[in-house]
């Protein structure tokens, strides 16, 4: 296939301050949505898109992530002895083939762009995906698989985009759309957190990207030039200015911002209700709660 993507970067070096005190001792990506940590959703999505190499950009205090993807021989042995085959199957999804997973340290939290740049040698001269695990997306076809399919057709750089209410645009990076072709839009620029009323569209960038090696080159220059936070959106915007192609992709699915408490709670409800083993009991509880609230009003 033309324009194949086999490597994905998972930037997980942020401090997760919005989830303190929990994140004092555990990485945000290990926080659990129903019964799986956020990182498992990200890995499953990457696998479904044909990703073969998983590159984690980590920081101090993230060793629980490395342990999570390791084999657990004692646990497996004990489950096998007790005939708990279903649980063994569940555990298998956390195992990674030797050499398929790599960890790179970002020594200072200098921004998402810097975190991605830290993985440059592992990415080499190939297109690569970036997945932010705190954006969890419920979708029939996983979001990254939708994007890799689009990328096979268009090439260039693709960012996942979703429509947001105009008065919420200031919380996002917003696309300046050159041409709207339906699920794909071509982009002439991006504005990070625009003042309300100045946003160039209602299409917000969220945490899934397919990028060309040129983005790493742009980040290279930003590294040597500027101090402080290095933004990934700046390097993508630079690519537009250099005449490179950047597309927004309107994915089909629902995105939850699990980096925020409200988003995490919403995701917990949505994923809880979508699980056959929980749906009835949890749904009945929520219905009861709503009825109680209505009666009190
Ligand atoms: P966030 O803006 O959500 O920051 O980063 P954070 O530190 O994770 O969380 P808060 O805001 O303090 O609660 C978005 C993504 O970029 C990664 C984060 O790990 C997260 O996946 N990131 C951010 C890095 O890897 N390095 C950085 O220097 C900054």
pLDDT band for position 225 (50/70/90)?
very low
**What is the per-residue pLDDT across 102-133, written as a single tens digit (0 to 9) for each?**
999 999 888 999 999 999 999 999 999 999 99
**What is the per-residue pLDDT across 75-84, written as a single tens digit (0 to 9) for each?**
999 999 999 9
Longest CA–CA separation in the chain, Å: 63
Q: What is the CATH number of domain 7-259?
A: 3.90.550.10
pLDDT for 224 equals 53
13 lines ligand 1 (CB under 6 A): yes
pLDDT for 175 equals 95
pLDDT for 223 equals 62
- Residues with Cβ within 8 Å of residue 104, at least 6 apart in sequence: 55, 56, 57, 58, 118, 119, 122
118 lines ligand 1 (CB under 6 A): no
- Answer whether residue 227 shows pLDDT above 60: no
pLDDT for 221 equals 83
55 lines ligand 1 (CB under 6 A): no
Please state the pTM of the whole predicted model: 0.93
Q: Alpha-carbon distance 215 to 206, whole Å?
A: 17
Tell which one of 14, 55, 117 to mutate to probe ligand 1, the residue whose CB is within 8 A of the most ligand atoms: 14
pLDDT band for position 229 (50/70/90)?
confident
136 lines ligand 1 (CB under 6 A): no
pLDDT for 71 equals 85
pLDDT for 226 equals 47
Q: Averaged over 262-281, what is the pLDDT?
A: 96
Q: Averaged over 159-188, what is the pLDDT?
A: 94
106 lines ligand 1 (CB under 6 A): yes
- Nearest atom in ligand 1 to the alpha carbon of residue 13 is 25
132 lines ligand 1 (CB under 6 A): yes
202 lines ligand 1 (CB under 6 A): no
> How crowded is the C-beta side of 72, counted as CA atoms within 13 Å?
18
Q: Averaged over 227-252, what is the pLDDT?
A: 90
pLDDT for 63 equals 87
Gap from CA of 253 to ligand 1 centroid (Å): 23
pLDDT for 228 equals 64
3-class SS of residue 250:
strand
């Amino acid at each position: 296939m033309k324009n194949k993507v086999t490597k994905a970067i998972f930037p997980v070096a942020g401090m997760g301050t919005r989830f303190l005190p929990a994140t004092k001792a555990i990485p945000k990506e290990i926080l659990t949505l129903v019964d799986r940590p956020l990182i498992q959703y990200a890995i499953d999505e990457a696998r479904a898109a044909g990703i073969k190499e998983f590159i984690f950009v980590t920081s101090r205090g993230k060793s629980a992530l490395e342990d999570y993807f390791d084999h657990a021989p004692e646990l497996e042995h004990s489950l096998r002895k007790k005939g708990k085959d279903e649980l063994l199957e569940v555990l298998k999804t956390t195992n990674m083939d030797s050499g398929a997973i790599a960890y790179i340290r970002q020594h200072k939290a200098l921004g998402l762009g810097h975190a991605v740049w830290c993985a440059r040698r592992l990415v080499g001269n190939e297109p690569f995906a970036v997945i932010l695990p705190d954006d969890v997306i419920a979708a029939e076809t996983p979001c990254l698989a939708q994007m890799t399919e689009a990328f096979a057709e268009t090439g260039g750089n693709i960012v996942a985009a979703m429509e947001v209410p105009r008065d919420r645009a200031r919380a996002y990076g917003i696309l300046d759309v050159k041409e709207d072709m339906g699920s794909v839009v071509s982009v002439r620029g991006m504005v990070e957190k625009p003042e309300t009323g100045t946003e160039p569209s209602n299409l917000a960038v969220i945490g899934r990207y397919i990028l060309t090696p040129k983005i790493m080159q742009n980040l290279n220059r930003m590294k040597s030039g500027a101090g402080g936070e290095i933004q990934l959106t700046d390097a993508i915007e630079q690519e537009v200015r250099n005449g490179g192609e950047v597309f927004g992709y309107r994915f089909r699915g629902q995105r939850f911002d699990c980096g925020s408490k409200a988003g995490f709670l919403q995701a917990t409800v949505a994923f809880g209700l979508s699980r056959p083993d929980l749906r009835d009991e949890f749904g009945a509880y929520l219905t009861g709660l709503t009825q109680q609230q209505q009666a009190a009003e």
